[in-house]
Amino acid sequence: MASIFGHGLVAYTTSKLINSKSSKLLLLLAIGSAILPDLDVLAFKFGIDYSHPFGHRGFTHSVLFAVLWSALLSYLFGKSRKLIFAIVLFLSTVSHGVLDAMTSGGKGVGFFIPFDNSRYFFPFRGIKVSPIGIEEFFSEWGINVFLSELKYIGIPCFIILITLHFARISKL
C-alpha cells in the first residue's frame, strides 16, 4: 500500500475533479473506497498466501472489484446521481491498485483477477511502500514513505486542487 493518507488524498482529488459539487457523503465514500482494498491484509491472519487471488493486493485490488463495489454503493446511496457516484467511486477504488502498482515493495497488484491471477507493477515505482503496522509508521521508514508520497501524490493533488479552486472562482 501507499499510506491511507496517500490513498485518501487521491480519492478526494478525484471526487473534486469529476464533480465539483461532491456531497460530503460522496467524498466520505470515495475516501473510504480508496482505503478499503487493504482490508485484505486480514488474509494473512487466515493463512491465505500473499500470491493467492484472495491474498493481499489480490481480488480487492482488481478492476472487477472496483466495478462491483462502486455499482453497489451508487445503487445504495446515489439516489438521483447514481452515474456520478458510480464514476467517482469506481475511480477512487481503482486508484488504490494504481498507486500500489507504483510502490517500491511487496508483490504486484492483481488488476485482472479472477481472469488472470498475475500481479502487476507499473514501470514507475517511486512511491515507497508503506508499513502495515502503526509503530513502523513513526520510524525512519515512515518518514521516507511520507516524503515520497508528498512528492509523487501530495504535490500533484495539491496542484490539481488549487487549479480547480481558481478555475471555479474565475467562473463566478
Cell of 86: 458510480
Which segment (28-36, 38-46, 78-86, 120-128) binds Zn ion by CB under 5 A?
38-46
Comparing C-alpha atoms, which of 84, 63, 74 is closest to residue 14? 84
Q: Nearer Cβ to Zn ion, position 7 or 16?
A: 7
Nine-digit cell string for 98: 494504481
Q: By rule CB under 5 A, what count of residues binds Zn ion? A: 3
Q: How far is the CB of 82 from Zn ion (least distance, A)?
A: 27
Out of 22, 38, 89, 108, point to the residue binding Zn ion (CB under 5 A).
38
Q: Does 1 bind Zn ion (CB under 5 A)?
A: yes
Torsion of CA 133, 39, 88, 59, to 10 degrees: 120
Question: Which residue, 1 or 30, is less far from Zn ion as judged by CB?
Answer: 1
3-state secondary structure of 130: coil
Which residue number has the CB closest to Zn ion?
A: 1
Q: Footprint of Zn ion on residues 129-168 (CB under 5 A)?
A: none
Region class of 2: left (phi > 0), else alpha (psi between -120 and 50), else beta: beta
Cell reading at 69: 463495489
Window 93-112: residues binding Zn ion (CB under 5 A): 100
List residues binding Zn ion (CB under 5 A).
1, 38, 100
